[in-house]
Amino acid sequence: MDELEKLRKHWEDDNFQRKHALAREIVVNRLRELNREYEEKTGQGFVRFIETRMKTPESIAEKLQRKDYDVDFDTAVTALNDISGVRCICYLSLIHISEPTRQAEIS
């Protein structure tokens, strides 16, 4: 089995996928909550749309190769910080929403 096949096998593991799906869901729910709170205070929300994604094993392998890392699962999850993510497109400048987010992290 080559390195990409090994990486794909780990990547497609149900437990691994569930953990990342849950983490993305937590972030999306928090963004929606912050958007509702902001809308209640200002009359308008800041979220235009939210999308989530998980990189494919092929894109992970390519990125590891570009960075001259070993192409394996352990390296991918320790060396890369963008294997799974949430994109939030906003109507307003992030300066406006960074303060409510920072306050939410403190409380």
pLDDT tens figures, 4-40:
899 999 999 999 999 999 999 999 999 999 999 999 9
Give the C-alpha separation, 103 to 58, whole Å. Answer: 38
Q: For residue range 82-101, list pLDDT tens digits in order.
A: 999 999 998 866 555 555 55
pLDDT at 92: 61
pLDDT of residue 4: 86
Q: Across the chain, what does the average pLDDT equal?
A: 87
Q: What are phi and psi of 45, to 5 degrees?
A: -85, 170
Neighbour tally for 17: CB within 10 Å: 13
